[in-house]
């Protein structure tokens, strides 16, 4: 069965950010996820495909994911979406935001987008789930996960979040991360269960130790798969 939408990936900026444009194929309405760095290129793509930006979806409030919001809001009469928990953490006046809780749904034409609350990188981090696709921001990377040592980060919450995703998402769900940090741009939950070290832990204390103290000393980008047996090596 064909999907009602198309996801376009744009790699922009000095931090290898992925900006996503979700376009509902029937209505030609588009949602931009984490608009940043090169808004001209984002808007040019939308115009070239005879679309209209109706929604902006934010995975979290870090500058490298939001620095194009104002320009797009000023250009289009679009709705800004983020989690209420993130707005409270951000403490910034926003232009007409729609604040969400986990489980809320956003309608983009005939395409339904489910908002997932995935704290860990920030208190109000969000992922956006569609029909077989999930946009994961800085929660889940290909063979990695977001940092937890910045303001609002919590490795124990990240452990809980990643385990819920592993247990609740279909293994064939396609992952669209917030940065190009790996040897491939996209992946699946199944591939991450096998090769993402952060999905191998069954003890929160061990996860926190690996995320906060060990990981950055033994791994560098582009990330390659790490299998369970590799975590046992000193």
Residue 95, CA distances (Å) to 36, 82, 123, 179 in order: 17, 12, 21, 26
SS3 148: coil
The token duo for 188 is 């699946």
Tokens of 9: 């990936």
Q: What residue ranges define each of the domains in the chain, with the CATH number in brackets?
A: 5-231 (3.60.15.10)
CA atoms of 201 and 164, how far apart (whole Å)? 13
pTM: 0.96
DSSP assignment string, 120-161: SSSTT-EEEE-SSEEEEETTEETTEE--SSSTT--HHHHHHH
pLDDT per residue rounded down to tens, the chain (234 residues): 689 999 999 999 999 999 999 999 999 999 999 999 999 999 999 999 999 999 999 999 999 999 999 999 999 989 999 999 999 998 776 667 899 999 999 999 999 999 999 999 999 999 999 999 999 999 999 999 999 999 999 999 999 999 999 999 999 999 999 999 999 999 999 999 999 999 999 999 999 999 999 999 999 999 999 987 666 555
């Amino acid at each position: 069965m064909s999907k009602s939408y198309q996801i376009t990936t744009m790699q922009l900026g000095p931090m290898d950010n992925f900006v996503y444009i979700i376009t509902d194929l029937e209505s030609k309405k588009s949602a931009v996820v984490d608009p940043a760095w090169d808004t001209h290129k984002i808007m040019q793509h939308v115009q070239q495909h005879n679309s209209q930006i109706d929604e902006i979806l934010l995975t979290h409030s870090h500058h490298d994911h939001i620095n194009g919001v104002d320009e797009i809001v000023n250009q289009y009469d679009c709705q800004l979406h983020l989690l209420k928990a993130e707005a409270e953490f951000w403490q910034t006046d926003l232009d007409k935001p729609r604040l969400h809780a986990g489980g809320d749904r956003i309608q983009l034409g005939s395409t339904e987008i489910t908002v997932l609350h995935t704290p860990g990188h920030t208190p109000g981090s969000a992922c956006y789930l569609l029909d077989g696709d999930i946009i994961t921001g800085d929660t889940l990377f290909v063979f990695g996960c977001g940092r937890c040592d910045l303001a609002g980060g919590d490795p124990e919450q990240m452990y809980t979040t990643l385990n819920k995703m592993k247990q609740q998402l279909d293994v064939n769900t396609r992952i669209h991360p917030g940065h190009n940090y790996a040897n491939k741009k996209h992946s699946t939950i199944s591939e991450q269960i096998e090769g993402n070290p952060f999905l191998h832990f069954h003890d929160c204390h061990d996860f926190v130790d690996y995320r906060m103290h060990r990981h950055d000393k033994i791994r560098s980008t582009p990330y390659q798969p790490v299998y369970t047996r590799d975590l046992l090596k000193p």
